Amino acid sequence: MEPLVLSINETAKVLGIGRSSVYALIKSGSLDAIRIGTRTLLTTESIRRLTQSAN
């Protein structure tokens, strides 16, 4: 089963970009982030949507 969320570091690694770029994508609304305690997690659905719109 695929995870529903990824960490900032995992997302940066999957997309091949830096952490600051991930935060910029969150700020622009391109990635959906949720907070659980002190952790910021990104939905795999928004990551998939971002990569599909780039193709």
CATH number at residue 22: 1.10.10.10
pLDDT tens, residue order, the chain (55 aa)? 889 999 999 999 999 999 999 999 999 999 999 999 999 999 999 999 999 987 7
pLDDT value at position 6?
98
pLDDT value at position 40?
97
pLDDT value at position 53?
82
User: pTM for the full model?
Assistant: 0.90
Containing structural domain, residue 36? 5-54
Q: Say how many domains are in the chain.
A: 1
Q: Are 48 and 16 in contact (CB under 8 A)?
A: no
pLDDT value at position 42?
98
User: Please, which residues have CB within 8 angstroms of residue 34's CB and are 6 or more apart in sequence?
Assistant: 5, 40, 41, 42, 43
